[in-house]
Amino acid sequence: MRDLILLLALVAIIPFIFKRPVVGALAYCVVSLMNPHRLTYGFAQTFPFAMILCVVTLVAFVLSREQRKLPSSPAVWMLLIFFAWTTLCTVFAQMPKAAWSDWDRFSKIILMVIVTIMTVRTRKDVQALAFVVAMSLGFWGFKSGLFVIFSGGGEGMFGPRKSFISDNNTLALALVTATPLLVYLITRADTKWLKRGAIAIAALTVLGAIGSYSRGAMLGAFMMGFFLWLKSPYKAKLGLVLVLIVPLVLLAMPEQWMGRMQTIQTYQEDASATGRINSWMFAINIADEFLLGGGPNVFSPYMFMLYAPEPDRYYDAHSIYFQILGEQGYIGLVIFLLMFLVAWRTGARVIRFCRDKEDLGWALMLARMCHVSMIGYLTAGAFLTLAYYDLIYYVIAILITLDKVLIRAPQKDDIPPLRHPLLDRLAQRFLGRPPPAAQDGTQAGKAGAAP
């Protein structure tokens, strides 16, 4: 049944993609981040939903009369430079077959992120992108939070099968990164029940991240909370809330969870932590040996036998920084960090532009929450291997499109509605767009009442 529902949804959305290519970009984002096909048990598990959406969106994009100009933003250039360097490192990779496999996956991510940036034209499009990214991970946050509650702890929690976030640690990083965008949705909900629903999803997502037994996610959540407190105009109130909530959460967690968190201080006695250090030293040795690093997927048992301090202790990179260092060398790491620095400055530019403009309060909040997402990702990512994960590149895309539609190429929100009751209702609730059916009905009513 689930398989047929997904297939019908794909068929139903294709006409809307040809009307507005951004619909295809957003649909691809849902498939890429939420992985709904991983919740099925039949043919949909291997059905190429992402490929079909990609092809249809590209065709619609080429045929569309909408403007197809890529914004000349420093953040866009850094994305392209990072991808170009990744490609160069793949060409000279030490493990070519595995490297090209990773490159193929990452190239599709960058392609669709760039298509998303180009197809987003209006403020409503940016809001829709933020909504789609937040709710795609909010689904797994809601599910994970319930798992933590009913299992008495998050041990054994998993994400979508055969995806970037299939295990508890990577899922926790995704939940930490997505939480600020869910907080943004709380501020956009215009009814009491929608606001309560958004609050529930955000709270369960935080609980799922903390209860995942991921120490990196715990540190990421702590740093995001500290940054929010630092930037908040209500430091006393927010500080009091944190002081009251944190002990309650810690007391609710089982002893096994507390024991795992305490290994942050006693890492010398933890086999997992010392194994990570061995992987980090391996990355340094590879970067010292090769200017371009070892190429994507260089963290392999064979390469560990040659360059790891302890050759028989094979671990993954367990850090976005050491992953990039080992796979792309010191130059690649600098480019990677510059990409985030430039994206941060893009967000800061949007924040300065929106400050003291009441009608742009939504954009101010969204840019700030993207900053918080980046802090969570860069902190938790220090202990997790997700340098090429879609989510953070979509966060950067949100900042780029905010800069595009507000400052670089502002346009009126004059895009015609999609003329679908469900889509129009969602747009009305979260994006502030009036339902065209109601407008027509009102006008028709007035016409009928006229003598």
Residue 439: which pLDDT band, with cuts at 50, 70 and 90? very low
User: Is position 14 within any domain?
Assistant: yes
Retrieve residue 285's tokens. 């040795």
Q: What residue type is assigned to position 234 of the chain?
A: Y
pLDDT for res 311? 86
Calpha distance 328→205 (Å, rounded): 33
Residue 229: which pLDDT band, with cuts at 50, 70 and 90? confident
At which of 43, 65, 87 does a domain end? 65
Q: How many domains does the chain have?
A: 2
User: Is position 274 within any domain?
Assistant: yes
Helix, coil or strand: residue 431:
helix
298, 394: one domain: yes
Contacts of 146 (CB under 8 A, 6+ apart): 204
- Asked if the model's pLDDT at residue 435 lies above 60, the reply is no
191, 300: one domain: yes
User: Is position 429 within any domain?
Assistant: yes
Note the pLDDT tens digit of each residue in 291-341: 999 999 999 999 999 999 988 888 788 899 999 999 999 999 999 999 999
- Asked if the model's pLDDT at residue 115 lies above 50, the reply is yes
90, 111: one domain: yes
Q: What share of the chain is helix, strand, coil (3-state, %, to 5)?
A: 75, 0, 25
232, 280: one domain: yes
Residue 31: which pLDDT band, with cuts at 50, 70 and 90? very high
pLDDT for res 244? 67
**Over residues 89-104, mean pLDDT:** 94
**Over residues 414-420, mean pLDDT:** 52
Task: Output the CA–CA distances (angstroms, integers) from residue 61 to 53, 198, 222, in the order listed.
Answer: 12, 33, 41
Retrieve residue 225's tokens. 């909370």
Choice among 13-17, 60-64, 162-166 with the minimum mean pLDDT = 162-166
pLDDT for res 212? 73
Calpha distance 381→132 (Å, rounded): 23
Residue 156 sits at the vertex; the CA angle it makes with 313 and 141, to the nearest 5 degrees, is 115
At which of 39, 65, 91 does a domain end? 65
Give the distance from CA 60 to its chain's centroid.
Answer: 25
Query: How does DSSP classify residue 38?
Result: G
Residue with the bigger pLDDT between 158 and 371: it is: 371
Residue with the bigger pLDDT between 16 and 264: it is: 16
Residue 274's domain comprises 75-434
Residue 222: which pLDDT band, with cuts at 50, 70 and 90? confident
pLDDT for res 252? 56
59, 200: one domain: no
pLDDT for res 159? 80
Contacts of 185 (CB under 8 A, 6+ apart): 130, 131, 134, 135, 138, 198, 202, 430
61, 86: one domain: no
pLDDT > 90: percent of the chain:
49
- Asked if the model's pLDDT at residue 421 lies above 70, the reply is no
Helix, coil or strand: residue 386:
coil
10, 130: one domain: no
112, 49: one domain: no
Average pLDDT over the chain, rounded to an integer: 83
pLDDT for res 256? 58
User: Is position 11 within any domain?
Assistant: yes
Retrieve residue 365's tokens. 């909040």
340, 408: one domain: yes
257, 373: one domain: yes
45, 84: one domain: no
User: Is position 61 within any domain?
Assistant: yes
Residue with the bigger pLDDT between 10 and 86: it is: 86
User: Is position 38 within any domain?
Assistant: yes
Note the pLDDT tens digit of each residue in 64-75: 888 778 888 999
* Cβ 348 vs Cβ 364: under 8 Å: no
pLDDT for res 190? 83
- Asked if the model's pLDDT at residue 155 lies above 80, the reply is no
pLDDT for res 238? 64
Note the pLDDT tens digit of each residue in 188-208: 888 889 989 999 998 888 888
Retrieve residue 19's tokens. 């009307």
> Which single residue is written with the structure tokens 């909900």?
189
- Asked if the model's pLDDT at residue 209 lies above 80, the reply is yes
- Asked if the model's pLDDT at residue 422 lies above 80, the reply is no
Report pTM. 0.85
User: Is position 444 within any domain?
Assistant: no
Residue with the bigger pLDDT between 110 and 1: it is: 110
92, 54: one domain: no
User: Is position 260 within any domain?
Assistant: yes
**Over residues 338-364, mean pLDDT:** 94
Note the pLDDT tens digit of each residue in 376-405: 999 989 888 889 999 999 999 999 999 999
Retrieve residue 43's tokens. 């043919």
Residue 287: which pLDDT band, with cuts at 50, 70 and 90? very high
Residue 261: which pLDDT band, with cuts at 50, 70 and 90? low
pLDDT for res 442? 43
Most confident of 95-99, 149-153, 190-194: 95-99
